[in-house]
A and B are shown apart, each in its own frame.
Chain A
Amino acid sequence: MPYQRAALGNGRDATTGEQYKIAKTGHNSTGSKISFPCCFFVRSAMGIWRALTKILRPAARRATPDRSEKPTGDGVEAVFRRCADFISREITTGGNVRVRVFFLDSLTSGETIAREVLAPLTDAGRLAGVPAEELPEKLLSGAVFASSAMRRETLGAVVSDLLAGCCVLVLDETRTAVAFETKSRDKRSVDAPKEEKVVKGSKDAFTETLRTNVALVRRKLRSGELKIVEFTAGSETHTRTALFYIDGYTNPGIVSEAARRLSDMAVEGVLTAAAVEECLADQPRTPFPQLLTTERPDKFCLNLLEGRVGVVADGLPIGFLAPGTFAQFLKVPEDAASHFVVGTAVTLLRCAALLVSLLLPAFFVAVAVYHPEMIPTKLLQSMIAAKQSVPFSAPMEVLLMLVSFELLQEAGLQLPTPVGATISIIGALIVGQSAVEARIVSPVVVIVVALSGVAGYTTPDQDMAAAMRLCRFLLVLAAIGAGMFGLVAGLTLLLYHLCTLESFGVPYMTPFVAAGPRELLRALVRMPLREGSVRERALHTRRKE
């Protein structure tokens, strides 16, 4: 059998067209007669089995042909059965050879196919007297005008080409196929980044089209050393992914590991960023991001120059960078774009804001509940006065406000932009003020939570900010449980966890650990560019300076 037949039930052999209905006729595939009791049991068993297989196996797989076999027109049609955008056309070439042309209307340009493939193919003068055996060679050697033509020997390759926007010509006589590049040019234009603000930098951002993204990177890194390796990921989506690295800079070990992980991606579809992140991350269970993500090609290129590898997937307007280290999540390309003193000050401010965002609510709870002696007298007096007739304890107030803050944020994200902004204003101004006036929460708690939330927004990476928000909750719980001791214990555990993480063999906390003072200084201080760039030692780049 050239194709995998559906195990049981109503199916159709793609090669012979034989219709087999074992259970209904009481005959097996060999046609032998079965006695009545046997027939009863067999029919019953078959019925149960059929019901089970209907439930357990996706319908699309029941008649899927073997994709390692040679390509045939029927095989291709079997794969794309019930696909409305699948176009199959049988034509006779100028040499009087019958061929079948397939393409997906949604991914290809009909005009290009007609002009560059069908017109020369049916031109009697061009392919006159060319027999079926010689036709593929003729096509590959320029008989058609398509910019790219590739011979395909397996059905799987044909399917991949069709899904990539090619037009495929199949010769059933010789069971060969030729694919022509006829992609549709419908795509989103390059736009300014929406998630990452740019003040002094290039105003272009990645799009959903892989080729465009490759072009954006190429235009910034005009070097032959920039290598781009393509992979196909997703058993169902067949998404093309590209691995970027600079040969001579990047550690070959990191490159080969990234290539291995990309080729081993065991997912059905690469439709979300998480699919790439979880497959490439060393420890997908931790909430801390291990891959830098950016929609800015300039940031992507800066990191490639630092010795990282980059990954871009078709359909995702995001670039992924590895190895991701903690310090990298606090940096933005604007630091490099501004004066080094300003860049340093902003970096330090961001670090302080991260600490405030993470620790302030927990510190407040610990101090208010267990260590009020640490609060200045005047402030404590004011807090006590504000706390009168508030029904909740300080920990409950903080938890309530943190949850409310998250709710408002989530509501603002889920709603369309104008409504989302309104929700934020309503939440911040009206609900907050009303809650204080109604004595549901005390003003100090509102200030603490708001300050913590605002400080959290300075974290450039949203995944890191989300992880920090999660840790903020855990630290508050630790502080409720054991005051300052709980806070310190929680912080110790958090640091312990962060120190155990690695990304592509690089310690996550580099350069705060496993690095010299110079590197540590460079993590916090933006040095003048004329002093040259020093690549992180932990990346083991080939070129150090």
Chain B
Amino acid sequence: MRRAAAFSLALVMLLTGCSGLRQKMRDEADLVLVRAVGVDGEAGESLTVTADTGLGEKGEPPRTFTASAATFGEAVEALRMTPECRDAFFTHTEHLLVGEAAAETDLQGLLDFVIRSPELRLDTDLFIMKDAGAGETMRAVGAGRSSAADELSFLKRYAARTGRGYTVECGEAAADMLRESAALVPAVTVRRSDDLTEEESAVDLAGMAVLREGKLAFFLTEEESRGAVLLKNRCEGAMLTVPDERGCAVTLRLLKAKTTTEPSYENGTLTGLRLRVRLTAGVVQTGGYLSPEEREVRAYIAEKAAAAEKEKIDAALRRAQETGIDFLGLGAAIERRDPVKFAGMKERWDELFPTLPVAAEVTCTVERTYELNTPLIYPSP
């Protein structure tokens, strides 16, 4: 029995490839923990990969390493060949920042590598750099008090609260492109503001970018991005300010958005699409004289909010139909609702979508008349 057990263990070890485990031994002290990867490259040129380690445990400045090769996979391997980055450890890569040019050239190849690589994770966040290269941004941000990895981590946490976008993982983007042939990913840009010195840079969310056929198609405007975020129900925590009847500002925080898709058919043919968007919000601030505790006041504020948000939703829908790219996933929503009926028009969906009458109906409910999650007294800096 003991011999049988020993034999079984040895067999399993050989069969599962565990005999090569020794090669995977790593010494923690030598690990170079890569937290963000930037990719740049024009069509016909080699790809440049920049690895960023993020800020150290005690705020040490980040280290960035660069290598170039024909493909992303080769560039990562080339990065490992550099003396200072020999033990680069990519498993903890949290963010993949792709330069605009590289995204316009081939994003599918990058995602394919991420999916196949045993080291990189599917839950790595994907960002598209707008109007700048990924590598130069990472180095610029790293020259200051922060790092690209930490800046992107901050964006990930607070993206939804800006109301201009939300973070998307590589796996999610790849799945969207496979299922809907289009995907929405967040776009970031370099921010230079008064609180930063001349050498310092930071990254900021610049709305959403639309991917189509494995490439960057275009960037959405701020208004369109907000509409897309609402339709995708990813706006939790976003702020919204509307004027009241005296012209004072009333600020609301969106707590929830829910969109339901109602296709209409005539003789089995899709004739239109109604989107019911239900928003739930809480009052953050009023002009002072309004009393949101009263039902009529709340209804008034809600009506104003719904009207304001409807404009943005309409803008997003307009852009989608004008470009003929269903980046809002409306086809997938119809398919989920009526899979049998949609099966007949799935092949023709790209033709049907631009001319399909789509109407959005937005309603808002003000549920909370106070800010629940924000402390009244802010801690002193």
Contacts and interface: CB of A to CB of B under 8 A. Distances in A.
Interface of A: 368-370, 372-373, 377, 380-385, 387-388, 390, 393-394, 482-483, 485, 489, 493, 496
Chain A interface helix/strand/loop/mixed: helix
Interface residues of B, number: 25
A192 B91 CA distance: 57
A483 B9 CA distance: 14
A384 B31 contact: yes
Given A489-B9, A496-B5, A384 B28 contact: yes
B33 A377 contact: yes
B28 A368 contact: yes
Contacts of B12: 489
B5 A390 contact: no
Contacts of B119: 373
B35 interface: yes
A331 to B, nearest CB: 30
B28 A485 contact: no
Interface in B1-46: 5, 9, 12-13, 16, 18, 21, 24-29, 31, 33, 35
Nearest to A375: B92
A373 to B, nearest CB: 4
B29 A381 contact: no
B57 interface: yes
B104 interface: no
B57 A385 contact: yes
Contacts of A393: 27
B295 interface: no
B56 A394 contact: no
Given A380-B33, A485-B16, A370 B25 contact: yes
16 contacts: A369-B26, A370-B21, A370-B26, A372-B31, A373-B91, A373-B119, A377-B33, A377-B35, A377-B92, A384-B28, A387-B28, A387-B29, A394-B27, A485-B13, A485-B18, A493-B9
A384 B31 CA distance: 7
Given A369-B26, A372-B28, A372-B89, A381 B21 contact: no
Nearest to A370: B24
Interface of B: 5, 9, 12-13, 16, 18, 21, 24-29, 31, 33, 35, 54, 56-58, 89, 91-92, 94, 119
A10 B272 CA distance: 124
Nearest to A388: B29
Nearest to B16: A485
B24 A483 contact: yes
B97 to A, nearest CB: 17
Contacts of A482: 13, 18, 21
Given A385-B58, A387-B29, A485-B16, 6 more contacts: A370-B25, A372-B26, A388-B29, A482-B18, A485-B13, A496-B5
Contacts of A372: 26, 28, 31, 89, 91
Nearest to A391: B29
B158 to A, nearest CB: 18
A394 B9 CA distance: 25
Contact of A380 (B16, B18, B92): B92
A485 B24 CA distance: 13
Contacts of B31: 372, 380, 384
A30 to B, nearest CB: 60
A372 B31 CA distance: 10
A382 B27 CA distance: 14
A410 to B, nearest CB: 30
A384 B29 contact: yes
Contacts, number: 61
Nearest to A500: B1
A496 B31 CA distance: 37
A14 to B, nearest CB: 54
A369 B18 CA distance: 14
A377 B156 CA distance: 16
Contacts of A380: 28, 31, 33, 92
A390 B28 CA distance: 10
Contact of B57 (A368, A381, A485): A381
A501 to B, nearest CB: 14
A500 to B, nearest CB: 8
> Which of B12, B18, B35 has most A Cβ within 10 Å?
B18
Nearest to B9: A489
Given A377-B35, A384-B31, A385-B56, A369 B25 contact: yes
Contact of B56 (A381, A387, A390): A381
Nearest to B18: A485
Contacts of B16: 485
Nearest to A490: B9
A309 B56 CA distance: 62
Q: Which 3 A-B pairs have the closest CB atoms?
A: A373-B91, A387-B29, A385-B57
Contacts of A388: 29
> Which of B33, B56, B89, B94 has most A Cβ within 10 Å?
B33
Contacts of A383: 28
Given A372-B89, A387-B28, A382 B18 contact: no
> Which of B21, B35, B54, B89 has most A Cβ within 10 Å?
B21
B302 to A, nearest CB: 41
A373 B25 contact: no
A496 B9 CA distance: 13
A394 B54 CA distance: 24
A369 B29 CA distance: 11
Contacts of A385: 56-58
A384 B33 contact: yes
Contacts of A384: 28-29, 31, 33
A372 B34 CA distance: 13
Nearest to B19: A482
A384 B33 CA distance: 9
Contacts of B56: 381, 385
> Which of A372, A384, A496 has most B Cβ within 10 Å?
A384
A372 B25 CA distance: 10
B106 to A, nearest CB: 27
A394 B58 CA distance: 22
Contacts of A368: 28
A367 B28 CA distance: 10
Nearest to B5: A496
Given A372-B89, A373-B91, A373-B92, A381 B25 contact: no
A383 B27 CA distance: 11
Contact of B5 (A387, A394, A493): A493
Nearest to A376: B92
Contacts of B54: 381
A373 B57 CA distance: 18
A528 to B, nearest CB: 42
A390 B25 contact: no
B29 A483 contact: no
A380 B25 CA distance: 16
B101 to A, nearest CB: 29
A370 B21 CA distance: 8
A382 B29 CA distance: 11
Contacts of A373: 89, 91-92, 119
Contacts of A382: 57
